[in-house]
Amino acid sequence: MIGIVSYGAYVPYHRLERKKMAQAFGDRPSSGEKAVANFDEDSVSMGVNAALDCLAGFDEKSVDCLMFATTTAPYDEKQSTATMAAALDLKPSIRTAEITGSLRASASGLLAAVDAVASGAGSALVVTADCRLGAPQGANEQWFGDGGAAFLIGQGKDVIAHVTAAYSHTHEHIGSWRSRGDAFVRSWEERFVQNIYGETVAASVRGVLEQSGLAPADFAKVVIAGPAPRAQWSAAAKLGFRKEQCQDTLAETIGMAGTAHAPMMLAAALETANPGDRILYVSYGEGSDAIVFEVTDAIRQLPARRGISGHLEPKNSELLYHHYLKWRGILPTEPARRPDTPRPSVTAMYRNYEQNLGLYGSKCLACGTPQFPQQRVCTRCQAKDRMEAYRFYGKPAKVATFTIDHLAASPAPPTVFAVVDFAGGGRMLCEVTDCDPHEMRIGMEVEMTFRRLYQAGGIHNYFWKAKPKRQPGGKGTEGES
Amino acid sequence: MSKKGITDRVAVIGMGCTRFAEHWDKSAEDLLVEAAYEAFADAGVEPTDIDACWLGTFASGLSGLTLSGPLKTQYLPVTRVENMCATGSEAFRNACYAVASGAYDMVLAIGVEKLKDSGFSGLAVHEPPSDGTAPGITAPAAFSFLAPAYFAKYGLDEQTGKEVLARIAWKNHRNGSLNPKAQYCSEVPMESILKSPMVAAPLGIMDCSGVADGAAAAILVRTEDAHKYRKDPMYVKALAIAAGPGDGRLTQDFDFTSITENVRAAKEAYRQAGITHPRKQIDMAEVHDCFTPTELIIYEDLGFSERGQAWKDVLNGVFDLEGELPVNPDGGLKSFGHPIGASGLRMLYEMYLQLQGRAGKRQLPNPKIGLTHNLGGFPWQCVSFLSIVGKELS
């Protein structure tokens, strides 16, 4: 049977407390906080980092199909899946699709992946991430959060959650929308939307229950997408689900991450699921998809991954509202008195995509020295053209030395640069992100994270940065000396 | 590989140098004309006596036309060279070889930079098109890597380390205060240096060289012709430049407490000039103090101090104007200012004045051998230039 073989998730390090947004306008504060993509993150980078979590321990070359679901793709014209495939080191012969324009996109991706496997693909990777904007002082701004999730769909004994039934229902209505040129999501009156929402999810849930012969009581968990944090509870209750069956909406800790939101809840549900559990997954957009998952014994064998829980702590909740506005480009600020960043050379990017997106350096076949960036003549033994590709991603790494640059132009100065030494050889001079300059230490352990360096001339330039390696659930950094 | 060098075959018979400053009222053309005509007058030659020119500029103009236009040289060969912050030295080095080869009898080496038209503080460079993934690290941040690495290796606590660096800046400002052509001709108290705003920790703004406009020029002939023009020419004893392969950023061997290019260039220059004990045999030096830790490392790379000892020599005043080996008597990049393409020739200008006894209030007692060191690039990959110049033929 076909189903989920592996899952992963990504939540940005930074959180914005809702009371800070409210306080900025003298409004009544809402509870909790939302996850906020750093200035160097977007849906593509968050999707890649979620997919890396999902693929940990799996052979990335066995993936036959990559689907990316988002409503906030960086380009209107130019697919992001090729960028992601290169960053994930997938094989060139994969089939790719970017599914956009709807909060249902991720469910469409999951179902398309199931269909792809049913029609012969060995495995299909579904990645979803979102980074939506609500206008300042609005409810959307309060509740939208950023993040991503990824699922490897396949079949056979490694499946941890079979797809046993699925039912789709399409129903035209306009609940929330964003037209070309709009920066912010618009929403229709809440009471109307909640009403239509209830009808829509009811149609798909009743359909799948009828098809599968199951009743609400047969499910350990229901993962239900919704237009607002509390709308989900009442919709689930009306369908006959008890409150304890409802998967936590993540509204208090992460916020609602667009089309990635229900998949992130699904990842969280899988983290605590036991063999034999049934999970009902319900999407919502211009219609709804209901999918029944049955958890198998194989879930016990899946190696530990970060998932959602591993991203909840450590975090930085010190982010200020105006910094968030600056990062998202909502608040124009005085530019640094430095030259504008020129657009990158697309030709040079084309030559170097394996290196820059896949984090491939070269390793000398004569003397064994790994080097980044790739070299033709070995820096140690000067052997010419005797290099093999060498991937630096995943190698343990430590800070050899670092600096805190107050002069470099950045949306979040000062910029931390470090010389990073990798276990097994090789070093990289790169930016350090998601860090407090005060926590930097020589000898500190770091890991590489995929980021968007900048956008210039309409071109988004993705690359890798180091970030402090933090123990999931812990507070500090590792390897301090 | 034979490296014969051209020891004592080339002499400097005239030099000129503009004041290094924020010249809001002067263009690169103005600065070139000023430096060149000061050198012509100093040598007692006419512009028409020059056979060929070497122009160094980092980013203030393209090609030899940058010089031939303002000077109205009459269809002479003019070669523009660029080697980052060692550009001025590179113009001088190539001009020396041109004279030594016999291809030309009299050559002008000149360097210029007009930095203050950019609207930015610090350096603003237009890089060639690239994939844009190279880290956008600024020059002070790149050189700041040296400080914590040095402090850690030799057991200096942060406070002591900061004081050592400040002492270098203090010395260079004190020397510059005696130099009317320096960008900042005033002393700066240690306390102000230590408290200056952070640019790239642990470097404050007062650990950084002055960003200035300026030009400097030299007129070169073969040694046998020198006395036709003056009785006290400056002889070129050694010229060396080492361009690094960049292993500092590729392998883990490089520990940021020494710049290999400096060590290699010094070794070659010392070989050419027969220097075996640099601290004793060299009377004075102008070195590339782009940032204070760079000067600290240079002391050790050039053999002025034993490894791990330079910081003590700094605190003991070894490199002060009255010290055992005065370094940057004119104020250095720190106080004299650093118009990229001109700096290498400015260093030689100070050696020239000192050897001739024309250095005014900062005159050293009868120096005979001087050294200039000029570096372009980053600690992990750079070009490093050394010259050794002298008052007498050996």
Domain ranges in chain B are 10-118+213-231, 140-209+235-390
Mean per-residue pLDDT over chain A, rounded: 95
Per-residue pLDDT of chain A (481 residues; tens, 9 = 90+): 999 999 999 999 999 999 999 999 999 988 999 999 999 999 999 999 999 999 999 999 999 999 999 999 999 999 999 999 999 999 999 999 999 999 999 999 999 999 999 999 999 999 999 999 999 999 999 999 999 999 999 999 999 999 999 999 999 999 999 999 999 999 999 889 999 999 999 999 999 999 999 999 999 999 999 887 778 889 999 999 999 999 999 999 999 999 999 999 999 999 999 999 999 999 999 999 999 999 999 999 999 999 999 999 999 999 999 999 999 999 999 888 778 889 999 999 999 999 999 999 999 999 999 999 999 999 999 999 999 999 999 999 999 999 999 998 899 999 999 999 999 999 999 999 999 999 999 999 999 999 999 999 999 999 999 999 998 876 555 544 3
Polymer length of chain A: 481
- Partners of A445 in the β-ladder: A398
Task: Note whether B22 and B31 are within 8 A (CB).
Answer: no
Give CA–CA dist A226/A259, Å, rounded.
10
Task: Note whether A305 and A8 are within 8 A (CB).
Answer: yes
CA distances from B151 to A4, A183, B297, B309 (A): 53, 50, 11, 12
Q: How far is A401 from chain B (nearest CA, A)?
A: 6
CA distances from A66 to A268, A336, B333 (A): 22, 39, 55
Question: Strands across the sheet with A370-371, in order?
Answer: A370-371, A360-364, A387-391
Q: What token pair was written down for A400?
A: 């050899």
Q: What token pair was written down for A138?
A: 């609005």
Give CA–CA dist A104/A101, Å, rounded.
8
> What stretches of A171-304 adopt beta strand conformation (E)?
176-177, 186-187, 221-224, 278-282, 287-295
Q: Is B30 left (phi over 0), alpha (psi -120 to 50) or beta?
A: alpha
Among B151, B162, B138, B150, residue whose Cα is nearest residue A415:
B138
Question: Is the Cβ pair A407, B140 closer than 8 Å?
Answer: yes
Q: What is the model's pLDDT at position B123?
A: 74
Q: In chain A, whose CA is at the least distance from the CA of B246?
A: A379
Q: In chain B, whose CA is at the least distance from the CA of A346?
A: B131
Question: Is the Cβ pair A426, B142 closer than 8 Å?
Answer: no
Per the annotation, the verdict on B85 as an active-site residue is yes
Q: How far is A369 from chain B (nearest CA, A)?
A: 8
Task: Note whether B302 and B385 are within 8 A (CB).
Answer: no
Which is it for strands A95-100 and A65-70: parallel, antiparallel or unpaired?
Answer: parallel
- ipTM (interface pTM): 0.92
Per-residue pLDDT of chain B (394 residues; tens, 9 = 90+): 346 799 999 999 999 999 999 999 999 999 999 999 999 999 999 999 999 999 999 999 999 999 999 999 999 999 999 999 999 999 999 999 999 999 999 999 999 999 999 888 777 777 899 999 999 899 999 999 999 999 999 999 999 999 999 999 999 999 999 999 999 989 999 999 999 999 998 999 999 999 999 999 999 999 999 999 999 999 999 999 999 999 999 999 999 999 999 999 999 999 999 999 999 999 999 999 999 999 999 999 999 999 999 999 999 999 999 999 999 999 999 999 999 999 999 999 999 999 999 999 999 999 999 999 999 999 999 999 999 999 999 8
Which homologous superfamily is A2-327 in? Thiolase/Chalcone synthase (3.40.47.10)
Question: Does any CB of chain A come closer than 8 Å to the CB of residue B132?
Answer: yes
Which is it for strands A221-224 and A278-282: parallel, antiparallel or unpaired?
Answer: parallel
Give CA–CA dist B298/B207, Å, rounded.
15
Question: Is the Cβ pair A356, B126 closer than 8 Å?
Answer: no
Question: Does any CB of chain B come closer than 8 Å to the CB of residue A336?
Answer: no
Q: What token pair was written down for A313?
A: 């702590």
Domain locations along chain A: 2-327, 354-468
pLDDT digits (tens, 9 = 90+) for A210-264: 999 999 999 999 999 988 777 888 999 999 999 999 999 999 999 999 999 999 9
Q: Which of B23, B288, B338, B373 is an active site residue? A: B338
Give CA–CA dist B264/B244, Å, rounded.
9
Residues of chain B positioned with their CB less than 8 A from the CB of A342: 126-127, 129, 132
Which architecture, in CATH terms, is B140-209+235-390?
A: 3-Layer(aba) Sandwich (3.40)
Instruction: Give the ranges where B45-145 is alpha helix by DSSP (H).
Output: 65-71, 87-100, 139-144
Q: What is the model's pLDDT at position A481?
A: 36
Angle between the N-to-C axes of helices B87-100 and B340-356, in degrees from 0 to 180, rounded to the nearest 10: 60
Which is it for strands A427-432 and B214-222: parallel, antiparallel or unpaired?
Answer: unpaired
Among A271, A8, A256, residue whose Cα is nearest residue A125:
A8
Task: Note whether B143 and B203 are within 8 A (CB).
Answer: yes
Give CA–CA dist A439/A131, Å, rounded.
28
CATH topology of domain B10-118+213-231: Peroxisomal Thiolase; Chain A, domain 1 (3.40.47)
Q: Which of B85, B96, B185, B208 is an active site residue? A: B85
Give CA–CA dist B292/B168, Å, rounded.
6
